[in-house]
Amino acid sequence: IVPTIISSLTFPYIKHFVDKLTMRLFYHDSYQVRDILNRLTDVLIAASGTQQIMSRSMEVLGSAIHPSSIYVAVVDKKGSIVDDDGAVPLNFHVITKDVHLKKHIIVSRDEHENTKIAHEMDIAGAGLILVLKHKKSVVGYVFFGMKKSGGSYTSKDIQLLTISAKNLAIALENA
């Protein structure tokens, strides 16, 4: 009877430990979209200024999707860079011209295999481009490198970034 009591008292703790260990070992790229969006909202509310918005929000998004690199550029109505993190690709204007024409919020390298935009994204080291739009005008771009794992961006990543794009655009427009 004593072993039964001990095991019934310790089982929840052991199960919790094994569950956490399993998540870390086998699902290290796993995240909850809602949790990341809550963290991003907290950052956008607390951040003051474009640089803080860019750096802190990219930390949050990067912790979820694990890109090899992130480059951010805020642009004016003419498409000229007004603020960036100092690492914007040299072929920025070539890429953004193509992105404008496609009118997407997200442009994925995998979706444009063997095209000019894919070639330019390869040169820039971008696996995915997030277009930040507010009131039909582009306020910025986020270039995400390929995933550190070597895999493709998932539909969950795309969902997270699509929702994040709207919030980031509004925050940058108001900064």
What is this structure's pTM?
0.78
Strand partners of residue 131:
141
Spell out the per-residue pLDDT of the chain, length 175, in tens. Answer: 788 888 888 888 888 788 777 665 665 567 889 999 999 999 999 998 888 999 999 999 999 999 999 998 888 888 888 877 777 788 888 888 876 555 778 888 888 888 888 888 888 889 999 999 888 888 999 999 999 888 889 999 999 999 999 999 999 988 8
For residue 125, list its beta bridge partners. Answer: none
User: How far is CA 136 from each of CA 104, 132, 159, 168, rounded to the nearest angstrom?
Assistant: 11, 10, 20, 14
Q: Are residues 107 and 124 in contact, defined by beta-carbon separation less than 8 angstroms?
A: no
